[in-house]
Structure 1
Amino acid sequence: MAGMLKKLGQGALLCMAVSVVSAQATAQTLRQAMVQAYENSGLLDQNRALLRAADEDVATSLAALRPILSYSAGVTRSFSESAQNGRSASTSADIGLSASLLLYDGGGSRLGIEVAKESVLATREALRSAEQAVLLGAVRAYMNVRLSREVVALRQSNLRLITQELRAARDRFEVGEVTRTDVALAESRLAASRSQLAAAQGALAQAEAEYTNAVGQRPGALGAVSAASVGAGSVSEAMALARRLHPDLAQARHEIAVSELNVKVAESNLKPTVNLRGSLSQNETFQSDSFSKGGSVGVNLSGPIYSGGQLSSAIRRAIARRDQARASLHVTQKSIDQAVEVAFANLAVVRASRTASSEQVRAAQVAFEGLREEATLGARTTLEVLDAEQELLDARFELASADVDAVINSYEALAAMGRMTVEALDLPVQRYDPTAYYNLVKDGPTAVSKQGKALDRVLKGLGKN
């Protein structure tokens, strides 16, 4: 009988091992979750569309330096009636062409092109910042689901243990080893454990909903995760990387360039504008077979004399916004420096916390098992056993939380340095090329051109997503 039980026990352990290995083999990894978050993100789609709109601003600005051609056409039916001449009617047609070309505007239009280009670069950095937020959100959602599931499992285990303790307390009460107070204490702990389990299950449902929002699908089995390699040996090294790589800083620098160019644009409005204009027209009256042709070519010079202070005010406003952009860069840099310091401090804290929590779990496990054995001999009360079990549970919570925090904090450190991108993480995704659309539109192609038709195909393809 003992040999049979031993074989059955070995078979059960083997089945458990096979099932665990199978679950681990099919479990979703953190990298897979980040890939899905990148591919399913509406936030990234939104920012990509904003970038394409900024690309189009370059083409729009470029059009100001190109000739503008337009046409007009019309047919007029005229009729009259009088006692002297009787009735008369005529039909005439007019057609005309006009053209204009900007020759000089103080450099404002060329500066406008540079403004649009710098705005494109700033918007690209905003897209990288959104990419960091999406990937970091996926990491947090993934780890929160893992933590919530572990908390639920611990609460369920705690509920089973307290149920066993309550049963043992009632049995000992029946034989007079403990008082009714010990039973009531166990019953109270059992009710509290059920309440805590319900709360943990609610938190798990919330974490899974947040995961679905961040990743784009419901979480299945999630694999174990190790903390990411930060790639910087000190806070100063990390700060240097952040100042070079962080998209928020790069965006702020491009916005300063935009504001400085806008000051020059505002100043150019004080200068004269020179335009070359030409027109050609033809009129034909069908009844009399008469027609006329005409045309004109000229150069127009115009400029402001007095505008009520509007142009000077626009210059001052542009200067103020330039100063605001410079101050914003200073604030952004300080915020990123602080984020790097906090991230590295949190990493140091969580490493120490995990070591201490691991030792706490070991010691609490030994204490709980010892107290439970002593309680069966009548040397310990039910309350002492329940307190020991609660201390063990708290230690396990702390260890689970430290494991999750270690992973999240490592990725937060990467994000603080500007390295939380698909390129830096080498994620297996089809990466969005921010220059592809720009290269198609930067020369301002017309809709009927070969390049314009290619753009139509691109936009149709994007619309199907």
Structure 2
Amino acid sequence: MARRTMFGMFAGAVLAVAGAMPAAADTLAGALSNAYINSGLLDQNRAVLRAADEDVAQAIASLRPVLSWSGEVTRQYGSSRNQGLAGDWNWTASTSNDVTASLIASWTIYQGGSRVKQFYAAREAVLATRASLVSVEQQVLYDAVSAFMEVSRAMEIVQLRQNNVRVIGEEVRAARDRFEVGEVTRTDVAAAEAALAEARSNLAAAQGQLEINREIYKAAIGNFPDGIVTPAGLPGLPDSVSAAKTRALQVHPDIIQLRHAVAANDIGVEIAEAQMKPTVQLRGTYGVSETFDSRAASRGGSVGINLSGPIYQGGALASQVRQAMADRDAARAQLYTASKRVEQSVGSSYAQLRIAQASLRSYREQVRAARVAFDGIREEATLGARTTLDVLDAEQDLLDARAALISAQVDQTIAAYAVLASVGQLTAEALNLAVPRYDPAEYYNLVKTAPSTSEQGADLDRVLRALGKN
């Protein structure tokens, strides 16, 4: 009868744990939103993207005239020796104070087309950097999913271990009472006490792992969890592995990044070849010079066209062309390799998901069978056909099966989001997260024309303030 009561307490406690839900618990969607908003890694790579945007502005600026000025104030002094009429030598001191100011304008009209090509290369680099930012976003969100689910796993394991300690504690007390009346031996009591010590040790380990996972959660998401609401289902996934692979080759940020890198390297070859062509520059100067001591002054300027070009540089220019071609070929090979790697990642992710789903089905059946076995052994023990050790072993088997089931559920969710990441769909936009969306084109559109001081300055300040950087 005492064993029936203890089993009822065990089952009731497990059901209570399964049905418990903290009032202010965190959801996975909320955790992902917080990770996206609080990520310093995303802020860092957004700044990298803004720096790449400025490369486009600088490439545009190189196509425009350059206006500069220079000024100089000079005091000259010295002395000279002259022979006088009487034949003696005299030293005469002299000083002068001069000021010169010049205005210089220059405009490179032609440079083999390299400056225009540098603009196109900079634009490809911006697009590659945008794709790199999406890769970082995927990593941030995947780390958040993993941290969330690992805390969920740890919390449920702790609750399971706590229930186990309570139930085995009751088992120890019951064994001691039955030993007092001679129903069991001292061995049964010792076995129950050993099981209780092991349960307490496992509980301490589970609590320690929970603290570790809470710290990982805070690092990934930005705050400690108040509680966890386990996701009710899995995210939407492509219907088949082949469809997922096709989709990944189209939209995966690593593939997009490398495509733009290949385009930039193609342009790099053209830039290297343009260095062999002549340069034409229009140059004009206007200056004013005045000597204060003599009141002498002059003003004037010049306008001219400068032509220059390489004749022989020891083979350096040809080497640069070959080097650019080698970089282009390496980028193309890297894109090919990345395509194969992405396809492999999709296939492996789906395989891991199928493994997790199969394990989940198996562990559910194991929990069912372990519960039936525990119930039967407990009944047999009341009739004297089983020992206390048999009951404890059966109870441990049930506990292990439930712990494995919890882990399988967590592994299935993590594997599903790994599939999304392998396809390139683990983003705030694809998940429809309730977060302020970062528009990578907004800053680019403001600086691509290389503004210096204009009404666009206020727009730039507004964007930077929105990013929290100004």
When the two structures are superposed, what TM-score results if normalisation uses the length of structure 1? 0.91
Question: Structure 1 residues 391-400 or 268-277, which shifts more?
Answer: 268-277
Structure 2 equivalent of residue 120 of structure 1: 126
- Whether 2:238 is the aligned partner of 1:235: answer no
| Equivalent residue, structure 2, for 1:99 | 105
Where in structure 2 are the equivalents of 1:194-233 lying within 5 Å? 194-233=200-239
Q: 1:143 is matched with which residue?
A: 149
- Indicate whether 1:454 and 2:452 are aligned: no
Please name the residue that 1:3 is paired with.
none
**2:173 equivalent to 1:187:** no
Give the 3-state SS of the residue equivalent to 1:47 in structure 2.
helix
**Inter-partner Cα distance in structure 2 for 1:285 and 1:221:** 82
Q: What CA deviation, in whole Å up to 9, does each residue of 1:168-214 have, x standing for no partner? A: 33333333333333322222222221111111111100110010001
| Deviation of the 1:105 alpha carbon | 1.3
Q: For the residues of structure 1 that align with 2:61 and 2:339, how far apart are their CA atoms?
A: 37
Deviation at 1:162, TM superposition (A): 1.9
1:227–1:410: 8 Å Cα contact kept in structure 2?
A: no
Aligned residues: 447
Give, in whole Å, the separation in 2 of the partners of 1:25 and 1:191: 33
Unpaired runs of 5+ residues, structure 2, are 1-11, 82-89
8 Å CA contact retained: 2:25, 2:225: no
Give the deviation of 1:359 after TM superposition: 2.0
**Which residue number in structure 2 is paired with residue 68 of structure 1?**
66
Query: Cα deviations across residues 266-293 of structure 1 (Å, max 9, x unaligned)?
Result: 1111222121112111111223222112
Deviations 1:372-424 (A, max 9, x none): 23213321012211110111011101111121122111111111111111111
Q: Tell me, what secondary structure is at the counterpart of 2:301?
A: strand
Partner of 2:401: 395
Counterpart of 2:137?
Answer: 131
Q: Distance in 1 between matches of 2:392 and 2:146?
A: 33
Contact 1:227 1:408 in 2 (8 A): no
Given that 2:237 and 2:419 are in contact with CA atoms closer than 8 Å, whether structure 1 keeps it comes out as no
From the superposition, tell whether residues 463 and 223 of structure 1 become closer, same or farther in structure 2 (CA, over 3 Å).
Answer: closer
Contact 1:230-1:413 at 8 Å conserved across structures: no
Which of 336-345 and 387-396 deviates more? 336-345
CA distance in 2, matches of 1:451, 1:254: 28
Equivalent residue letter for 1:390: Q
Q: Please tell me the residue identity of whatever aligns with 1:391.
A: D
Residue identity over aligned pairs, in percent, reads 53
Letter of the 2:362 partner, please give it: A
Find 1:261's aligned residue among 257, 267, 292: 267
1:341 to 347, 352, 356: 347
SS in 2 for 1:93: strand
SS at match of 1:230: coil
* Aligned counterpart, 2:293: 287
C-alpha displacement at 1:433, in angstroms? 0.5
Does the Cα contact within 8 Å between 1:37 and 1:214 map onto a contact in 2?
yes
How far did 1:366 drift?
2.0
The 5-angstrom pairing of residues 310-321 of structure 1 reads 310-321=316-327
Distance 2:135 2:145 in 1: 16
Letter of the aligned partner of 2:336 in structure 1? Answer: H
Distance 1:227 1:329, change over 3 A: farther
User: How many Å separate the matches in 2 of 1:367 and 1:267?
Assistant: 79
1:234 and 1:462, CA in 2 relative to 1: closer, same or farther beyond 3 A?
closer
Conserved 8 A contact 2:275-2:317: yes
Counterpart contact for 1:227–1:406, Cα < 8 Å = no
Q: In the aligned structure 2, how far is the partner of 1:101 from the partner of 1:384?
A: 93
Residue aligned with 1:26, SS: coil
Match of 1:110 among 106, 110, 116: 116
Secondary structure of 2:273's aligned partner: helix
**Would the aligned equivalents of 1:278 and 1:298 in 2 still touch at CA under 8 Å?**
yes
SS of aligned partner of 2:284: strand
Is residue 58 of structure 1 aligned with residue 56 of structure 2?
Answer: yes
Structure 1 pair 54–66 and aligned structure 2 pair: CA distance change class (3 A): same
* Cα offset, 1:324, TM superposition: 1.4
Distance in 2 of aligned mates of 1:460 and 1:385 = 66
Q: Which letter maps to 1:316?
A: R
Q: Residue type matched to 1:46 in 2?
A: Q
Query: Is the Cα–Cα contact under 8 Å of residues 28 and 148 in structure 2 kept in the other structure?
Result: yes
**Alignment partner of 1:411: what SS?**
helix
1:66 maps to amino acid: R
Per the TM alignment, residue 463 of structure 1 is displaced from its structure 2 partner at its CA by 4.7
Do the aligned residues in 1 keep the contact of 2:24 with 2:226 (CA within 8 Å)? no
Distance in 2, matches of 1:384 and 1:461, equals: 65
Root mean square deviation of aligned Cα: 2.1
- Counterparts of 2:465 and 2:170, CA distance in 1: 65
- CA distance, structure 2, for counterparts of residue 164 and residue 186 of structure 1: 10
Per-residue CA deviation, residues 96-150 of structure 1 (Å, 9 max, x unaligned), is 0111111211111111111100000000001111111111111111111011000
